[in-house]
Chain A
Amino acid sequence: MTETMSAKSAGASEIADEGVNRSLWGDVRYELARKPLFWVSLMLVLVILTMAFFPQLWASESPNARGACDLANARGKPTWDHPFGYTTAGCDMWSSLVWGTGKSVILAILVTAGTTILGVLLGTAAGYYGGGTDTIISRITDIFFGLPFILGALVFLALFPERNVYTLTLVFVVFGWTSLTRVMRGSVIATKQKDFIDAARALGASDLFIIRKHVIANSIAPVIVLATIALGTYISAEATLTFLGVGYQRPAASWGLLVADGQTLALAGFWHLLVYPCAFIVTTVLAFILLGDVLRDALDPRNR
């Protein structure tokens, strides 16, 4: 009896669910497609992603390859052949920047994936079950919020003698999961009060089924927006920590290290050492934030 009930409710709710989602995402697609800013930021993000995963498409020679860098060229100013000049280590600036993209972007993607999974799971548990579960998760979130991101990350990274993409990801996830959890929790609480959840429950659907089919699908939108923006801010945070000396270590080709190198020398007239790495960082962060911003506008029904 219960089985037929839940099978029936499964069929009914799937239809309802598709109806809700199709109209919501259809509207979003319509909103997005007519926004030039969406296409610009999407193109930028795609370019950055290809640089991160296939740097050889953009700069044939890796700066880490044997013989790629020549100290004789160190700090070389831009020329016609090398419009971006040379780094302090005598590598071509353009290929250093292109090959350094992956370091920042892959870290940011890993951190975003980690924090999103944690945030969705914990936020859903807290928002849907409420009560004791909610209290425990919310109090732990509060305590993590008491530790500002940069300060917290700094202490632990400073204690690690060796830092690579995995240790950085770990520390970032430990300090980054809270905001997504809070947003997901709020969104789930709002969804939970909708009538279709009551309807599904009245039809005898199990909690897990309701969460999978209804709650997550209808609560995820603000998390997607925030995660896109967070991806940009993680890139910014990694570069900041690397700049401070607790992120990637030499001889890795990383944007933060290039800015750190260029910062003092720029004052001595080698402006290209500072301006180009800065431009790469800012453009990348901007691309993700813009994309998130456009998504937010499109997902916000009040803007229609």
Chain B
Amino acid sequence: MGRYVARRLIQFIPVILGTLFLLHMLSTLTIQIVGDPVRALFGPNAPPQAIIEELQARYNLDDPCLEQTGNPCVGLFVDRIGQYASGDFGVNFRGRSVMEMFLERFPVTARLTVIALAFEIVVGITAGVLAGLKKDKLIDNLVRFTTVVLIAFPVFVFGSLALLLVGLKIGLPLRNSDWAPEWLGQMLNVGYDPDYPWLSLVLPGIVLGAFSLAAIARLTRTSLIENLRSDYVRTARAKGLGARDIVGVHTLRNSLIPVITYIGIDIGFLLGGSLVTEGIFNIPGVGQLVFLAIQANDAPVIIGVVTILTVVFLVSNLVVDILYAALDPRIRYD
């Protein structure tokens, strides 16, 4: 196990450098083609050249290679990696550090993601196991149908409708009533309330996790059905084990291996989805930072935050990979 972790850590370095380089190269190429974002920010009423040049210098956009289309700007990339390593992910158009804004808002997004993950894992795996055990029965068809419909709902559609139907039509009367408990109304709130840092994130968390819930349920179902047909389950039956040991011990652990892999990918999806959810529910998290930056055309913030989120995604993927090895000995002895 120790050797496996060490090997994974060593492999991680080229992957993270490669991804950051890809991000750098594509953004450089875009700037080279469409012009730099400082000028785009001001549009036709451009300020004097000196101010533009000062801004360009501040945002790292003054490198001459940004004007040579096709140049990968390796020098600029090396500089940037140095800055990233020291925690500097640039500043916004008003001069605030992106890292500082990120850290300020990260706890809310982390809570939102945890709620979404917990919701999708618990409900998704339960639904998937029930469906897999009762293949082609009523519950299976119900789970399959619901999950297809859930997958067809883009996060922003689901979020907008949930806000309208649950947050407003159901939640508002609850919050205004005398009889309903406070927590119930807060759980179905239309937006974030700092007095209820967890409860008011429940509805947005469910919205955020709904898509992945469907994916996890389907994955669990398929892999459970497949493993129930496997030879080692037949062996377990030949050993005279009861149904609980056969499913709970021999099948479930094997079936959860692909689910764990999916959760690694899913963290990236949740980070993307949090932009939408936080925008809709007006949650002061990292996603909203990007949401607002898009509307303000603040490209350095978008690039900076997406870079940090990519690093977060890669690191959590690494953690998931190590967890995966803990569940599947075949991986760690390779």
Residues of chain A having any CB pair with chain B under 8 Å: 139, 142-152, 154-156, 158-161, 174, 232, 236-237, 239-240, 243-246, 256, 259, 262-263, 266-267, 271, 274-275, 278, 281-283, 285-286, 289-290, 293, 302
What are 25 A-B contacts with C-beta separation under 8 Å?
A143-B22, A144-B22, A146-B16, A146-B18, A146-B317, A147-B23, A148-B309, A149-B269, A149-B272, A150-B272, A154-B272, A154-B294, A155-B26, A158-B297, A159-B37, A236-B154, A239-B157, A240-B156, A244-B291, A245-B294, A263-B160, A266-B160, A271-B164, A278-B161, A282-B152
For the complex formed, measure the closest distance between the CB of A260 and the CB atoms of chain B, giving whole angstroms.
8
Residues of A within 8 A of B22 (CB): 143-144, 146-147
17 further interface pairs, Cβ-Cβ under 8 Å (given A244-B294, A289-B148, A293-B148):
A142-B18, A143-B15, A143-B18, A145-B265, A146-B22, A151-B309, A154-B275, A154-B290, A155-B23, A155-B27, A155-B306, A156-B30, A243-B156, A244-B156, A246-B294, A267-B163, A302-B226
CA distance A232 to B280 in the complex (A): 23
CA distance A262 to B161 in the complex (A): 11
Question: Known contacts A236-B154, A243-B276: does B302 contact A267 (CB below 8 Å)?
Answer: no
Decide if A148 touches B157 in the complex (CB within 8 Å).
Answer: no
Q: Which of A146, A152, A156, A274 has the largest number of chain B CB atoms within 10 A?
A: A146
Decide if B314 touches A146 in the complex (CB within 8 Å).
Answer: yes
Question: Known contacts A151-B268, A161-B35: does B155 contact A240 (CB below 8 Å)?
Answer: yes
For the complex formed, measure the closest distance between the CB of A248 and the CB atoms of chain B, giving whole angstroms.
14
Question: Known contacts A263-B280, A290-B148: does B271 contact A148 (CB below 8 Å)?
Answer: yes
B303 within 8 A of A: yes
For the complex formed, measure the closest distance between the CB of A225 and the CB atoms of chain B, giving whole angstroms.
13
Residues of A within 8 A of B26 (CB): 152, 155-156, 174
Residues of B within 8 A of A246 (CB): 294
**B141-168, CB < 8 A from A:** 148-149, 151-157, 160-161, 163-164, 168
For the complex formed, measure the closest distance between the CB of B66 and the CB atoms of chain A, giving whole angstroms.
12
Q: How many A-B residue pairs have CB under 8 A?
A: 146
Residues of A within 8 A of B15 (CB): 142-143, 146
Residues of B within 8 A of A148 (CB): 268-269, 271-272, 309-310, 313
Decide if A147 touches B30 in the complex (CB within 8 Å).
Answer: no
| Chain A interface main SS type | helix
**B114-164, CB < 8 A from A:** 148-149, 151-157, 160-161, 163-164
